[in-house]
Amino acid sequence: MHNIWQQQLKQALSGRTSEKLRQHPDFSHAGDGLFKTVITDEVNTAIKESSQPHVLLNQFLPINRETNIHPDFNQDPVGDHNALAQQGIIHKYHGRVLLVASGSCAVNCRYCFRRHFPYQKQLASRRNWQAVVSYLHNHPEVHEVILSGGDPLTLTTQSLTELTDRLIDLPHIKTLRIHSRMVTVLPDRIDGEFLNWLDALPWRKVLVTHINHADELTHKAMGSLHRLKQHSITLLNQSVLLKNVNDDADTLINLSHKLFDEGVLPYYLHLFDRVQNAAHFEVSLSRAQRIYARMRSQLPGYLLPKLVKEEAGEHSKTPLI
């Protein structure tokens, strides 16, 4: 029997929850053909309740501009392919590896830098988990494992347990980090079974949320964050600076305060990754720096996310201030 969240995810992936979006006058079937439209009922609710519904909508609505091809944009803007150590393992940075644990998301963000990623060929799926363990065993300098995707929390808790059970015997692993949008787009995913799994893990646990606008924090989303805090999970947030979504200082200042209200520390503010078919989201560096300067003048240091850019081939994210 499926849990509530699995039923909700199935509805999103089947397209049932995107029917209203498909009736929008700006909906592009061509854009949808390039990157499937996926949205959850929770996001539909957030859009409906937002004081600026078009701002949230812009993250998920395919438009005709996605069909434009720009020579300075590409399908792998952050150099994931060259950093693939083996199937499903991205090893860019010292001391940590990223597992592409799932190729699915509960929502498809139109600006996603992995919208062209070949998940069918490069997934750390169950059939090659032993190869993942072998790789980590041969790299004792790795102390942090990052679960990413797609969204790793589209995996069942049973699957997550099977994966982490294989990692427990690696003494050099100290931290498990999870990157997920589920706390806001499918908050029922943060259920008792999932929290029990987290409690049983022997490592430091970090969950990085991906929230770009304060209106994404619905009542149910805030409840999911509260449940995580009760279980002593370190909560961080990273945002992407997106044109016509959050490209003004007041919006981002408000987001930082709202995140802190819910026990989440702002971590990164990313410059948009120049992925093909999403150029309309780009904010210029000069404008980003002006926005950030105002944020810095208004926020205490602990609420000021780092303004960064991820560049292919670099050994860390590049600070822009």
User: Residue 82 has which token pair?
Assistant: 């060259």
Helix 41-49 to helix 219-230 angle, to the nearest 10 degrees? 120
DSSP conformational letter for 215: G
Q: Which of 179, 200, 12 is nearest to 96 (CA)?
A: 179
Q: Could you tell me if 313 and 79 are in contact, meaning their C-beta atoms sit under 8 angstroms apart?
A: yes
* Count of other CB atoms within 10 angstroms of residue 192: 10
Contacts for 145 with CB less than 8 Å, ≥ 6 apart: 96, 97, 99, 136, 167, 173, 175, 176, 177
Q: How far apart are CA 271 and CA 307, in angstroms?
A: 7
| Count of residues in the chain | 321
Bond preceding residue 150 cis, omega within 30 of 0: yes
Q: How far apart are the first and last CA of the chain?
A: 50
167 assigned binding-site residue: no
112 assigned binding-site residue: yes
Q: How far apart are CA 219 and CA 105, in angstroms?
A: 21
DSSP conformational letter for 74: B
Residue whose entry in the numeric block shows the structure tokens 């995707």: 149
DSSP conformational letter for 83: G
249 assigned binding-site residue: no
Give the CA count within 13 Å in the CB-facing half-sphere of 82: 11
Residues flagged as binding site: 105, 109, 112
**Residue numbering of the annotated binding site for [4Fe-4S] cluster:** 105, 109, 112
